[in-house]
Amino acid sequence: MAYLLKFPPSTRPQNLLSEPFVVFGIQGINIFTSLPSRIPMAMVLHYAPKLRTWVLPPPENLPKKVAADALRTPLVGINILEPIAIDGLLWIINKMLQVSGAPLTDPLFFNVQPDICASVRILQAWKTLEIAPAGADGLRIHLTACVMMGPPVTLEELKTVWESFEKDSAIAKETAQNFYRNTIEMEYTHLQAKAFREYITADRERRKFFKSLESEFPNSEGVFEPIKSNESKPGEEDIGSIPYWMEPKQSAVSRQRSAEILENFGTRRVSVSEKRAREKNDGEEMRRRLRRLRSDESLRSVEDEPLKPIADYAGDEEKQITVNESDMVDMRADRRRSEVGEANILTRFLRPFTLNQKQDKQVEKMPPERSFPPGTDPELLFQATHGSLLAQALERYAKEDYDGQVANQEMTTRHDDPAKEKKTGD
């Protein structure tokens, strides 16, 4: 998100990245560990001339060890006397290092976009350093997009925006509209709604500002009006006044005897009538699913239907082939026999792949079996079954065949060359 900030065009000095380096402080508090370790002084004074007024004079009467370290790595202190956020200053300094060509301590720093509060703090730091306001226009657009199309604003974000921007600014207006939209859509709990109401109504100007936007949301009438029926009882937590359309609806169903039903997300308490209706619907759905186990006329597959006459085109003559019922019985029987045969062959060939670890010892005691019976073409069998496991069996069969050929070749070589066999024996 480095494009959110831009410095005004200027001529870069030749010693932009040269020593000395800066040690920053904010109102007398050292923040050296929160910023990059090597920040050239010429760079920060070039992009933010305001920092020149806060440069500290060189210290005197330093201990010998500290003075020796200062000679090797010259450092200059800058103490910012105005309030400024550390993360806001960090964003600006990293942007300076990036445009200057210096290496960043965290190369992925700009891969994370700032949230609403962080964006406001960066804008405040940009304003404190008196850098050209146009350079932060991208960050203002990003902040406006966050409150327009982002998730519901929190109370902290609402306070930050209200205290940092003018009341007639676009960001303040969009933040208030975000609150209204998500309040109508019930995105806030009762406690959150109470906290928002207390904060908005605590200030007359703030209440007037939010009241002026109420006309843009017709369903938001009464957002800040108390409801007498929502008073808490003794011993219960006071959730505060809520809008009338957020009050839980009371009906005759809630006053009936309740029951529990199981949902995917957990147990839910409902009325007895609703539970009976749910059980009835579940029973009908289960009967509809069990129908698939029976051969109803409506669920009969296409293969079980009697074959209709089909056209066999041989040249220019059209022939009609009629299949009678006896032929259909024979065809179905042949098809079943072929399917059973293929299943038996597949089970026999893939037996080593289907046994679990507990049966490994039993597999070792089994007599060795051929991977395929004599006269069976593996390619035709693969085309007949179309199984991925059968492909593994074919690969295993080919590997065993290859290992056997290698072993036979070694035996033949030893038999032909007695000297080599004797040498091997030695």
Checking if the pLDDT of 121 tops 90, the result is yes
CA dihedral defined by 292, 297, 303, 307, rounded to 10 degrees?
180
pLDDT band for position 264 (cuts 50, 70, 90):
low
pLDDT band for position 370 (cuts 50, 70, 90):
very low
- The structure tokens 């065949």 sit at 401
SS3 content of the chain, % helix, strand, coil (to 5): 55, 10, 35
CA distances from 273 to 270, 280, 286, 310 (A): 8, 11, 20, 56
Provide the edge-to-edge strand list for the sheet that holds 21-26.
29-30, 21-26, 75-80
pLDDT band for position 254 (cuts 50, 70, 90):
very low
- Summarised one tens digit per residue, pLDDT across range 271-295 is 777 888 888 888 888 877 776 655 5
The angle formed by the CA atoms of residues 385, 388 and 393, to the nearest 5 degrees, is: 85
**Which DSSP state fits 40?**
B
- Summarised one tens digit per residue, pLDDT across range 303-354 is 555 555 544 444 444 444 444 555 555 566 666 556 555 555 555 555 554 4
- Summarised one tens digit per residue, pLDDT across range 170-181 is 899 999 999 988
Burial class of residue 123, CB neighbours in 10 A (0-12, 13-18, 19+): buried
Q: Measured between alpha carbons, how far is 353 from 364 in angstroms, rounded to an integer?
A: 14
Task: Centre a 10 Å sphere on the Cβ of residue 161 and count the other Cβ atoms it contains.
Answer: 24
**Which DSSP state fits 55?**
B
Q: What is the pLDDT of residue 221?
A: 59
- The structure tokens 């003018």 sit at 166
More confident residue, 23 or 378: 23
H/E element holding 24?
strand 21-26
Here the tokens at position 254 are: 């809630």
Helical axes 190-201 vs 204-212, angle rounded to 10°: 110
> Residue 391 carries which side chain, given as an amino acid letter?
A
SS3 108: coil
Checking if the pLDDT of 227 tops 80, the result is no
Q: Measured between alpha carbons, how far is 306 from 304 in angstroms, rounded to an integer?
A: 7
Q: Whole-prediction pTM value? A: 0.53
Here the tokens at position 386 are: 């179309």
pLDDT band for position 129 (cuts 50, 70, 90):
very high
Checking if the pLDDT of 375 tops 90, the result is no
Q: How many residues does the chain have?
A: 426
Contact call for residues 219 and 236 (beta carbons, < 8 A): no
Q: Measured between alpha carbons, how far is 258 from 254 in angstroms, rounded to an integer?
A: 8
> Residue 127 carries which side chain, given as an amino acid letter?
K
Pairing of strands 29-30, 75-80: unpaired
